[in-house]
Structure 1
Amino acid sequence: MKVVFVSVFLFLAVSVLTTDGKESSKGLTCEQEVALVQPCVDYLTKKTEAPSTSCCDGLKKIISSSPTKKEKQAACKCLKKAASEIPNLCKERANNLCKECKIKVDNFIPNDLDCEKIV
């Protein structure tokens, strides 16, 4: 099965993890984050019209597990790398994933996927 986005992102769409290279965000490894957003792949590749509940729930868990700037950046980098491995990824859908999931979060995964811009 193909490795997934998120943030997207999502996004996010994906790169270096944290300093030790194993943990991406508080309590979650990069591999766990990728697994959480795996259900988003069909939406991000235009196989479905809307993200699934499991996609949105996974994204919410990643966001809630990444409270600090460093953790958000690490999650962004992880998902950015994963997104780069998805053929036919729709960047517009990745950029709008949080909105489609009705998640109000600013700059979790910036539109230009520059994870250093996260505040």
Structure 2
Amino acid sequence: MRSNMNGVAIAALVVLTMTQFMVQPSAAITCVDVNVMLEPCLVYLQTGGDPPINCCNGLRRLQVETPTRLDRQTACSCAKTAAIRLQIKQDFASDLPRRCGVVINVPINPNVDCSTIP
């Protein structure tokens, strides 16, 4: 009976160890991540019209992928840099969350101070 309990304990330990290796902590968001999520929005941000569904999906994903203040500030800096480089129209960028029906804490604005993002 004792041998059987030792086997169960070892099996449980192996399962717990394997579980730790399978669970990965969430990595901080990068500019590559932000660019990939917002790339489908580029035409809308430059010319207006209707934002495509994959743009709105990217915006939703950006909201989910920025749970911490640091994530939001990083994403803000990335979006700000892209907004300047790609010469997006600020009025389209400001209206994008409403047009997609998304509440987002990361502004796409070349003039924002990202250090003030809560």
Is TM more than 0.5 here? yes
Match of 2:6 in 1: none
Superposed, 1:49-60 pairs within 5 Å as 49-60=49-60
Report the residue type matching 1:100 in the other structure: R
Instruction: State the TM-score, normalized to the length of structure 1.
Output: 0.68
Q: 1:27 deviation in Å? A: 4.9
Greater helix share, structure number? 2
What is the root-mean-square deviation in Å for CA atoms of aligned residues? 2.1
Q: Which has the higher contact order (CA 8 A, sep 6+)?
A: 1
Match of 1:109 in 2: 107
Structure 2: segments with no counterpart, 5+ residues: 1-25
Residues 80 and 115 of structure 1: is their aligned pair in 2 closer, same or farther, counting only changes over 3 Å? Answer: same
- 2: distance between equivalents of 1:43 and 1:26? 29
- 1: distance between equivalents of 2:62 and 2:27? 9
Greater strand share, structure number? 1
Residues 93 and 51 of structure 1: is their aligned pair in 2 closer, same or farther, counting only changes over 3 Å? Answer: same
- 2: distance between equivalents of 1:110 and 1:83? 7
Residues 59 and 110 of structure 1: is their aligned pair in 2 closer, same or farther, counting only changes over 3 Å? Answer: closer
> How many residues are aligned here?
92
Match of 1:34 in 2: 35
After superposing on structure 2, the runs of 4+ consecutive aligned residues of structure 1 that deviate more than 3 Å are 25-28
Q: 1:104 deviation in Å? A: 2.0
Structure 1: segments with no counterpart, 5+ residues: 1-24
Q: 1:109 deviation in Å? A: 1.3
Instruction: State the TM-score, normalized to the length of structure 2.
Output: 0.68
